[in-house]
Amino acid sequence: MPNTARWAATLTLAATAVCGPLGGSALATPAHAPALAPAGLYAPSALVLTTGHGQSADTATPERAVTLNCAPTASGTHPAAVQACAELRGAGGDFDALSVRGGALCTKQFDPVVVTVAGVWQGKRVAYERTFANECVKNSYGTTVFTF
């Protein structure tokens, strides 16, 4: 299976696990099904983060994937969901605005690691991809968001 197909399969499975099936229409519910009311006052924030070695999602093989739900409370398979959600809220959901952890000493070894994020942040769809020079550099960004 080509790497692109692996990424697509990984993201599809993970997104389905977090957000539910993407196919179909909300208008195509059976006539006997009751209308669903909103689950709460919070806009959904459910993300799937993946990582793998390579220069882009097209050429990398996914190695890990985690889920991160931030509303109404932090949860998911991310090892530090509470801290990651707090950092994302502090950055306004902007992954490029995540701060670099001070004091990280990384080598200049080039072993690219790509991170992808797909899902919903405060009710808006998110698709993000970033390539870091190596694992140490990846782990220095966002303190905990990309550390999984």
pLDDT in tens, 70-101: 988 999 999 999 999 999 999 999 999 987 77
Whole-structure pTM value = 0.70
Which amino acid is it at 14? A
DSSP secondary structure, 40-93, as one string: SSSPP-EEEEEEEESSSTTTPEEEEEEEEE-SSS-BSS-TTHHHHHHHHHHTTT
Cα distances (Å, whole numbers) of residue 95 to 1, 18, 91: 30, 19, 7
Contact 67, 57 (CB under 8 A): no
Is residue 3's pLDDT more than 70? no
Residue 48 has pLDDT above 90, yes or no: yes
Give the residue carrying structure tokens 């990309």. Answer: 146
Q: Which domains does the chain have, with CATH numbers?
A: 3-16+42-140 (3.30.350.10)
The chain-wide mean pLDDT, for the chain, equals 79
pLDDT > 90 fraction of the chain, expressed in percent and rounded = 49
11 pLDDT band (50/70/90 cuts)?
very low
